[in-house]
Amino acid sequence: MARAEAVVIGGGIVGGAIAYYAAKAGLDVTVLERGELASGTSSRCDGNILAIDKDPGFDSQMSLKSQELVHELSAELEHPFEYRAPGSILVCESEEEMAAAEEWVRRQREAGLPFRMLDRSDIRQESAFFADDLLGGLECATDSTVNPYLLTYALFAGAKRHGAKVVTRTEVTAIKRDEVSGQFLIRTTRGEWTAKQVVNAAGVWAPLVGRMLGVDIPIVPRKGHLIVASRQVPVGERKVMEFGYLISKFGGQRKVDAKTEQYGVALVFEPTQSQNFLIGSSRQFVGFDSKVDLSVVRCMARRAIRFYPKIADFLLIRTYCGLRPWTADHLPIISRVEEVPGFIIAAGHEGDGISLAAVTGKVVSELLSEQSTTTIPLAPLRHDRFEQAKEKEVHR
């Protein structure tokens, strides 16, 4: 039987960041991953480290902190991960969206973030390929981008350099906590481990791991498609989203056709370092189905052409899907579980796991080493907040 001070379940970007910061802090940590590293959502996504689309206040400040940490990681980690920080923009197609954008910028600036409005001429300067009728938009100057796959690998390489053990092709099948010793016994498809602390970083599969200890974790898969298109001309240098993406993310009503609404399609445009474009994306609750649906892909392509009419005959290289680990309030769960001492959840980052992995890794390492304060306050990310919200509803 193998021993570790802390076992992290999940070899995605969140598990990688936890392993890195925990090992760097001197903890004896082992990661157990049932497939290969980054074989879950962390290799089926974009690579944006964004504050622009975060709810102004706690959410956007947490993202800003993570951006700072990723900037530090770009100097600290041995392996490069295609890091760039050119900022990002949201574009508006109606006066109504412009008014909502003004309000978004005002609230973000109040929360201390570097946001500004863009007018029609700023948009023209950004890209000659934009549709003529776009009215303007907004910019977040600190937003950055990475290759999520490479960042995950760089974090695990860094973790190993600091002494972490990383075990792949090893699925956790059962976990028991001994009430007397307080130790966990972790059963896997390749042997047993004991640990004083266990971190559940299993993304959309976190509820299944939680169930092994009788803990209910309200995370649901939210499917997303992406198109990889070949860059033939320099359409744009940085990340662009339509303002409607915010409405789609937070579940509001948009003025779009029925299919665009049904598939939750909103423009996301990301130039990559390898000279391609990622074009997205969709948002659907369809369980664990992660097969590409061509009618969704067509809908996304139509949406991209609405904003960039001149890219209609770009070469499409491939398409893929990932499952975002969704929670009802769009915030991750980064929390101890009081009923099971030593059990920590770090999952439910929905469409923000690449952005928030660094700050998650940092605070979980602080929890594991029982520090009295954490880099960001953790009360809004508690596991029991959903129960408390339900109770409040009942007593209303």
For ligand FAD, the binding residues (CB under 6 A) are: 9-15, 32-35, 39-42, 44-48, 171-172, 201-203, 205, 209, 224, 226, 280-281, 322, 324-325, 347, 349-355
CB of 83 to ligand FAD, least distance (A): 13
Nearest residue (CB) to ligand FAD, 56 versus 280: 280
CB of 255 to ligand FAD, least distance (A): 23
CB of 120 to ligand FAD, least distance (A): 27
Nearest residue (CB) to ligand FAD, 136 versus 224: 224
Nearest residue (CB) to ligand FAD, 13 versus 166: 13
CB of 348 to ligand FAD, least distance (A): 8
Nearest residue (CB) to ligand FAD, 136 versus 322: 322
Map the chain to HEC letters.
CEEEEEEEECCCHHHHHHHHHHHHCCCCEEEECCCCCCCCHHHCCCCEECCCCCCCCHHHHHHHHHHHHHHHHHHHCCCCCCCECCCEEEEECCHHHHHHHHHHHHHHHHCCCCEEEECHHHHHHHCCCCCCCCCEEEEECCCEECCHHHHHHHHHHHHHHCCCEEECCCCEEEEEECCCCCCEEEEECCEEEEEEEEEECCHHHHHHHHHCCCCCCCCEEEEEEEEEEECCCCCCCCEEEECHHHHHHCCCCCCCCHHHHHCCCCCEEEECCCCEEEEECCCECECECCCCCHHHHHHHHHHHHHHCHHHCCCCEEEEEEEEEEECCCCCCEEEECCCCCCEEEEECCHHHHHHHHHHHHHHHHHHHCCCCCCCCCCHHHCCCHHHHHHHHHHHC
Nearest residue (CB) to ligand FAD, 92 versus 297: 297
CB of 145 to ligand FAD, least distance (A): 8
Nearest residue (CB) to ligand FAD, 137 versus 264: 264
CB of 352 to ligand FAD, least distance (A): 4
CB of 179 to ligand FAD, least distance (A): 23
Nearest residue (CB) to ligand FAD, 11 versus 137: 11
